Amino acid sequence: MKVLVVGKGGREHALVHGLWLSGAEVLATQPNPGMAQHARAIAVAPTDVAGILAVAQAEHVDLVVIGPEAPLVLGLADVLRANGIAAFGPGKAAAQLEASKDFTKNFLNRHGIPTARHVTVTDLQAAKRALRTFAHPPVIKADGLAAGKGVAVPDTWEEAEAAVQAFLGDRTLGDAGATLVLEERLIGPEISALALCDGKTLLPFDLARDHKRILDGDRGENTGGMGAVSPLPTVDAATRARIDREVLQPTLAGFLADGLDFRGVIYAGIMLTADGPKVLEYNVRFGDPEAQVLIPRLGAQLADLLLATATGQLAGKTLPTDVPAAVTVVLAAANYPATPRTGDVITGLDAASAMPDVLVFHAGTQADGATVRTAGGRVLTVTGLGATVAQARARAYAAAAGIHFEGQQMRTDIAASVI
Ligand code: AMP
Ligand code: GLY
C-alpha cells in the first residue's frame, strides 16, 4: 500500500510510524526529521490542495491520510475523492463541526446530543445583554478557528465582559470572533472520545485524556496539549456505555440524517458532569497528542484500518488490544506557549528511541546536519507503552529524562489522575 500523509507534527509522526510498521510505503508533506526516517519527503505544503492532488495522482497513492484540520476545512478530502483517490478525513461540510462552534451547537441540539445551553450572538450590545441571561458568567467561544485561543472561561462578570469586548468588539482573533457562542459553564473531568467512522460504521477507541495546561496540577496557560493517556481506568463501564449511547451513536445518526459522508476520525471533547456526559466540542481529526497514545496501540494494523475507514469498509472490524496502555509526555520549548524559542540543540534522542516500549515522536524539530534542533512550541512527544497505565507512564518518563534541550518544559503529572 502506498500512502501520503498530510501534516508535519507529532500526530503525523505517529501516523507515519504506524503506517511504516504496517508495511506501507509512506510519503509525507514537508516531514519533520522524525517522520523523514520512515517517509519520503514531498515538498508541498499541507494546505496546498492542488499540489497534494497532483502528487497523489502522479505517485498513484492508494490513500491520503489528512492529519490537521486546516486542509480538511479547505476541502482537500472532497477534491481527492472527486478525483477517485481514497482519503482519510471528512469533507468540507463535515469539517464545519470543528471550524464553527455555532454550527456544532446547532448540530448537537438538532440531534439531541447532550451539551451546555448556549446563545449565539453577532452584536456587541446584544452579547453584553445575553451574558446576564446566565446564572453564572458563561464560557465565551469565538465561532471560528483560533488555534486554541478562542475560548475564555471567566470567573467574574467583569472578565466575561472583557472577553466579549476583546473577541467581538476589538476583533483580537480577527473574523473568528465575529460570531460568539456564550455557553453555560460545566463542571467535571474532561475526556476525549475518538472513533473511526467510515460514513456508516463507528469504531470507538478507548477513552483518552489530554492535559491542556502548561503546568502541573492543571495550572497556567492553555496549550495545544502537554501529554495524554489512554485508556482511562477511572471511567467506569456504565459511563463509557453512556458516552457511546448518548454521544457517539447519535453523532453518527446525525451525520446520516444531515447527509454528511464522514470518513475519518471524529473526536468528541466531553465533560463528565453530574448530569452525565456533555459535549464541549468536536474535532474532525486525531487529537494531538491523543494520536500519540491511540495510534501506537493499533500496531501494524493502522494502514488496514485507515484504508477501511476511507473506503467504507469498517463493518466487522475491531481494534487490536495487544498494547493495553499508552502514555505520552510532551517536551515543549522555552517560552511555550506564548513565544516559543527555536534553534536549541536536542541531545539524547537516539538513546531514548532505542529503549524498549518507547516511541519518540518529533513535533517541532529541524535537522541541522547530524544535529537536531528545536523548531516549534511542542518539540517532541515521548510515548511509553505498557500492560498498565502505570507501566506505560514509567517508561515514558524514563525515556523523557534522557532527552535534553535548553529551556525544555515538561509536566511531571501526566496520567497521574488515572492511576
Ligand atoms: P473547546 O475549544 O470548546 O474545547 O474549549 C477549550 C477548553 O475550555 C475546554 O477544554 C474546557 O476546558 C473549557 N471549556 C469549554 N467549554 C466549557 C464549558 N461549557 N464549561 C466549562 N469549561 C469549558
Ligand atoms: N489535544 C487537543 C486537540 O488536538 O485539539
Cβ density class 163-190: b for 16+ within 10 Å, e for less: bbebbbeeebbeebbebbbbbebbeeee
Least confident of 140-149, 195-204, 246-255: 140-149
Q: Which three cell numbers stand for residue 44?
A: 508541498
Any idea which ligand is nearest the CA of 223? 2
32, 9 Cβ separation under 8 angstroms: yes
383, 359 Cβ separation under 8 angstroms: yes
Q: Which three cell numbers stand for residue 251?
A: 453523532
Ligand 1 nearest atom to the CA of residue 212, by list position: 10
Dihedral of the alpha carbons of 19, 20, 24, 30, in degrees to the nearest 10? 80
Cis amide linkage into residue 233, ω under 30° from 0: no
Cα-based angle 109, 112, 116 (whole degrees, multiple of 5): 55
Taking 80 as the threshold, does the pLDDT of residue 179 lie above it?
Answer: yes
CB of 225 within 6 A of ligand 2: the answer is yes
176, 146 Cβ separation under 8 angstroms: yes
Note the pLDDT tens digit of each residue in 366-412.
999 999 999 999 999 999 999 999 999 999 999 999 999 999 999 99
Architecture of domain 117-183: 2-Layer Sandwich (3.30)
**Fold adopted by 2-91:** Rossmann fold (3.40.50)
Q: Write the DSSP assignment of 87-155 as a string of letters.
A: EES--HHHHHHHH-HHHHHHHHHHTT--B--EEEE-SHHHHHHHHTTSSSPPEEEESS--TT-SEE--S
Any idea which ligand is nearest the CA of 287? 2
Nearest CA to ligand 1 atom 8: 151
pLDDT-above-70 percentage for the chain: 100
Any idea which ligand is nearest the CA of 114? 1
DSSP-based three-state secondary structure for 394: helix
Q: What is the pLDDT of residue 149?
A: 84
155, 137 Cβ separation under 8 angstroms: yes
Per-domain boundaries in the chain:
2-91, 117-183
289, 10 Cβ separation under 8 angstroms: yes
Of the candidates 8, 10, 13, 7, the one whose C-alpha atom is nearest the C-alpha of residue 302 is 13
CB of 290 within 6 A of ligand 2: the answer is yes
116, 139 Cβ separation under 8 angstroms: yes
Taking 80 as the threshold, does the pLDDT of residue 148 lie above it?
Answer: no
Provide the 10 A C-beta neighbour count for residue 226: 29
64, 6 Cβ separation under 8 angstroms: yes
Does this model's pTM top 0.95? My answer is yes
Query: What is the rounded average pLDDT of the residues 139-155?
Result: 91
280, 193 Cβ separation under 8 angstroms: no
User: For residue 370, what are the contacts with CB-CB under 8 A and spacing of at least 6?
Assistant: none
Q: What is the pLDDT of residue 163?
A: 95
Measure Cα distances from 127 to 119, 218, 253 in Å.
9, 30, 33
Nearest CA to ligand 2 atom 4: 287
Dihedral of the alpha carbons of 302, 226, 331, 323, in degrees to the nearest 10? -30
Query: Which residues sit with their C-beta closer than 6 Å to ligand 1?
Result: 116, 139, 141, 151, 153, 183, 185-186, 190, 212, 269, 280-281
